[in-house]
Each structure stands twice: as C-alpha cells, then as structure tokens.
Amino acid sequence: MQFNKVEICGVNTSKLKVLTESQKTALLKRVKQGDLAAREELISGNLRLVLSVIQRFTNRGENLDDLFQVGCIGLMKSIDNFDISQNVRFSTYAVPMIIGEIRRYLRDNNPIRVSRSLRDIAYKAMQCKERLMNANQREPTIEEMAKEMDMPKEEIVMALESVVEPVSLYEPVYSDGGDTIYVMDQIGDKTVDSDWLDEITLKEAVGALSEREKRILYLRFFEGHTQMEVASEIGISQAQVSRLEKGALSKIKSQM
C-alpha cells in the first residue's frame, strides 16, 4: 500500500467520523449496557485515533493495512475494558492499548531471535501490565509489576527491552487536532541535578505570562483539552488559542 493513498483496509480515511468527548462518554455508557450498535459507532468514531497511532510505525516497512487492523483490535479492547467511572479521557487510555497491541504484533513477527525464557517473561510482564492498567486506569510502574509477578524488576526490564525495538524520542505517539504528542513528552529524567533549578526558572517564566495565557496552558497541558475545547470554554477562536499558546510557550522557552 502506498502511503499517499486515502484508503486503508477499504476505509476512506478522508471521511472518517470524529466524535466529541461528550459523544464518546454517552456511547461508552451505552456500550456498558450491552448496546452493540453503540460499540460499532464508537469504533467507527475512533478510527482516526488508530491512524494517528500507526503513523509512528510507517518507516519500518510494515504493511499499513495490517497495522491498521491490529490497531483496531487494540481499540476494541480499549472500549471493552474502559472504566467509565474513572476521570480519564478515553483517548488517554486507548492510545497505550493500541500501541501495545501493535507492538505485540511486531514482536511476534520479529525476525530477530530472543531466548524462549526472556520471551516468556516479557509476555507475562505485558499481561501483568495490561491487568494493572485495567484495574488502576493508569500505567503501572516497574516496581508494581515486579511485586505483582514476584520477580526482580531488573529481570522484567531486561525481558521487556529484549522484545521491543529502540524508539526515537521524536516519534509521534498521538495527534489530536494537529497537536502532536511525541515520545519525549511522555518521559521524564529524574537523575539530573539541575532539575530543581529548571523548576524555579519555569515557575518564574510562567508567572510572567498573562492570565489568559496561563489559563490556556493550564487547560491544554494540565486538563488535557484540545485547542477547540479551550476555544469554546474561553470564548475565542481556535486560531487565537493556537497563536496565544505558541506565544506563551515561546516566552517560556526564551527564559529557559
């Protein structure tokens, strides 16, 4: 399949439906009541989410049709396992599930041989991770997984690393309305001695922003709203939100 085609698995990607958060919530409630039609609508309305995830795997020579189908399996698992009582956005829960499903597929089809014992530990670790994620609605720590599996955390890390290909920090994880989240946005480095200095500088930089700029950054990066949602709440256009957000980030960057 050529990358510039608009169809994947017979689906015209230019005509995919996009659901609002309120629509997703309403459909998820119906799904939990056994409404199969709502489940199908929810799947259809989140296919763009699957597409945004598989973009990170486009440079590995994999067939996009295959990855799309595998990603849809991850999406369906997310819908079936999502806990609507938790204060978590569906996409926040679904993206790691879709990525995990694709990684399992790539791992199973990886030509590089990994020892059977390491592979078995990795499988068990991923199953444990999925169980804990379903139970707690968040990514478990290695310490939590080690306790659950009754194994040394070093052994679990080694096993997981043996079946996962290296990932660039600049690979996109998720894109929502043009705002791309990269791998580097999802990780932190707690070993740098100057972290506390950076934190002080950051607070000073944020303190110099206008109240509107602070509000936009809070809604975008702490509440997880899209630019369109922020625009609706504040009462300005999405273009204005985008301009103010970029300006605020530039001010912070210049002081950092």
Same-domain check for residues 225 and 127: no
Asked whether residue 134 falls in the same domain as residue 245, the answer is no
Position 172 scores a pLDDT of: 56
Which of 135, 174, 143 lies closest to 46 in space, CA to CA?
Answer: 174
| Within a domain: 177 | no
Asked, for residue 182, whether it belongs to a domain, the answer is: no
What type of residue is 81? N
Residue that is last in its domain, among 145, 162, 179: 162
Residues 21 and 145 in one domain: yes
Please report whether residue 167 resides in a domain.
Answer: no
Q: Which sign does the torsion angle of CA 142, 221, 23, 50 carry?
A: negative
Backbone angles phi, psi at 11, to 5 degrees: -95, 125
- Counting the structural domains of the chain, the total is 2
Looking at the fold, whether 59 and 97 belong to one and the same domain comes out as yes
Task: Please say whether the beta carbons of 232 and 225 come within 8 A.
Answer: no
Q: Are residues 206 and 153 in the same domain?
A: no
169 lies in some domain: no
Tell whether 150 and 203 lie within a shared domain.
no
Are 29 and 129 members of one domain? yes
Residue 44's closest CA among 9, 82, 92?
A: 9
Measured in residues, the chain has a length of: 256
CATH code for position 213 = 1.10.10.10
Judged on CB neighbours under 10 Å (0-12, 13-18, 19+), 101 is buried
The residue type found at 80 is D
Domain containing residue 75: CATH number: 1.20.120
Cβ atoms of 55 and 175 within 8 Å: the answer is: yes
Predicted confidence pLDDT, tens digits, the chain (256 residues): 333 344 455 555 566 777 888 888 899 999 999 999 999 999 988 888 888 888 877 766 677 888 888 989 999 998 988 888 877 788 888 888 888 888 888 877 765 555 667 777 887 888 888 888 888 888 888 888 889 999 888 888 877 776 665 555 555 555 555 555 555 555 544 444 445 445 556 677 777 888 888 888 888 877 778 888 888 888 888 888 888 888 888 887 776 5
Domain of 229 in residue numbering reads as 188-255
Closest CA to 5 of 58, 74, 70, 57: 58
> Are 24 and 73 within one domain?
yes
Looking at residue 114, its pLDDT comes to 56
195 within domain boundaries: yes
pLDDT at 30: 93
CA distances 125 to 106, 147, 155, 159, Å, are 17, 11, 10, 8
Q: Who's near 128: CB < 8 A, 6+ residues apart?
A: 140, 145, 148, 149
Cβ within 8 Å of residue 74, ≥6 positions away: 50, 94, 97, 98, 99, 100, 101, 102
Looking at the fold, whether 91 and 128 belong to one and the same domain comes out as: yes
Which one-letter amino acid corresponds to residue 191? T
Same domain, 248 and 156: no
Domain-embedded: residue 178: no
Is the domain of 124 the same as that of 195?
no
CB 204 within 8 A of CB 255: yes
Residues 116 and 36 in one domain: yes
The answer to whether residue 175 sits within a structural domain is: no
Given 125, 147, 162, the domain boundary residue is 162
**Residue 172 falls within a domain, yes or no?**
no
